Amino acid sequence: MVPSYSARSRAIEPFHVMALLARANQLQADGNDVIHLEIGEPDFTTAAPIVAAGQAALANGHTRYTAARGLPALREAIAGFYAERYRLNIDPQRILITPGGSGALLLATSLLVDPGKHWLLADPGYPCNRHFLRLVEGAAQLVPVGPEVRYQLTADLVERYWDKDSVGALVASPANPTGTLLSRDELGGLSQALKARGGHLVVDEIYHGLTYGVDAASVLEVDDDAFVLNSFSKYFGMTGWRLGWLVAPPAAFAELEKLAQNLYISAPSMAQYAALACFEPDTLEILEQRRHAFQQRRDFLLPALRELGFKIAVEPEGAFYLYADISAFGGDAFAFCQHFLETEHVAFTPGLDFGRYLATQHVRFSYTQDLPRLQQAVERIARGLKTWRPHAL
């Protein structure tokens, strides 16, 4: 007897890369040396001062619920970080601590999207964004974007794609999978276009801190009414601690707190105490060293892949991804990824996971391995290209 599950569950697609990851792990278990460039997780473990703060929190018995909005000290520390890094005066009362950036997205979609309404999203983009919208019975209106707009939504695209069911737009800067940024002026243009239509602007700033040669602008520099999603996972390297935050306009906070109380009670308490160490000078020095390492990796891998024939039309300024066009080699991106996994034991992600627009001719590389491993990966990819046949798999 086939179980009857909800339509919303059936409509949410799995990560296609998970099948490749499972095969990669099997190959590794069988004794093969697999180079993992498929998962969007920093390879660095959490910095020692943060770990020590977490251990101290456990030893001191900080294992109980916190308030739904999060530890006051952590919210004040985040506000201080905005003052230091962006010269912004953000009231800690506007900051709500969440279980990862995903918890922040869950709150934002629950608050802002009624059934049948939608947000505009760039295609390609992070797949969970559209899935969260489906979960709250809303929808994503995917807007095809290419290198001509640096894979980002623009004010002109908002004007072109906005319709009677649109209620907002979600953008990411830096973006996954492309690593591109929105400038302060571009964020301002999006804000004006959405306000003119009574829409909300939600900005994923989860990769802030991981930028190279340029500082990312926060949307809060141009729009105090925007909603900001952020996380301790990427720049701060706390992926498994599951901790993020949401900055919201003052008028929204009571509703958001109510939702948080009902959806998850509070973010993990020991993770919150650990995160207090993120803003200490010694920790920030470690994180900046890691940012420099990511830039070195990008600066090696980007020209190396281009030399092999991958088309990467826009140089990424942030995150740790390269989104590459494989049309010069022919064939389907998923089969392309399978080929390199099976023959060369290099794992990377097919574009199908990030949307629909030209997805079958793109792949994403995560430069979350050190330089020697990236050099090995390039050597293997060069070898694998010689045996690639577009219809071989």
Average pLDDT, the chain: 96
Contact (CB, 8 A) for 119 and 170: yes
Assess whether pLDDT exceeds 70 at residue 349: yes
Residue 211's pLDDT is 98
How far apart (Å, rounded) are the C-alpha atoms in residues 61 and 63? 5
Q: Is the dihedral of CA 233, 236, 240, 245 positive or negative?
A: negative
As a whole number of angstroms, the distance between CA 252 and CA 260 comes to 12
pLDDT in tens, 95-144: 999 999 999 999 999 999 999 999 999 999 999 999 999 999 999 999 99
* Res 392 pLDDT > 90: no
Give the model confidence (pLDDT) of 256-284 as tens digits.
Answer: 999 999 999 999 999 999 999 999 999 99
How confident is the model over 297-346, as pLDDT tens digits?
Answer: 999 999 999 999 999 999 999 999 999 999 999 999 999 999 999 999 99
pLDDT of residue 20: 85
Q: How far apart are the first and last CA of the chain?
A: 34
pLDDT for residue 21: 86
DSSP code for 5: -
Give the residue-averaged pLDDT of 51-61.
98
Find the DSSP H helices in 60-120. Answer: 72-86, 100-112
CATH T-level assignment (fold) for domain 7-45+283-384 = Aspartate Aminotransferase, domain 1 (3.90.1150)
pTM beyond 0.85: yes
Mean pLDDT of 83-92: 97
Secondary structure (3-state) at 22: helix
pLDDT score for 121: 98
DSSP code, position 271: H
CA 359 – CA 352 distance, rounded (Å) = 5
Distance CA 355, CA 363 (A): 12
Domain boundaries, the chain: 7-45+283-384, 48-280
CATH of 48-280, one of 3.40.50.300, 3.40.640.10, 3.90.950.20, 3.30.450.60: 3.40.640.10
d(CA 2, CA 30): 35
Could you tell me if 182 and 173 are in contact, meaning their C-beta atoms sit under 8 angstroms apart? yes
pLDDT tens string 281-310: 999 999 999 999 999 999 999 999 999 999
Query: What pLDDT does 279 receive?
Result: 98
What pLDDT band is residue 14 in, cutting at 50, 70 and 90? confident
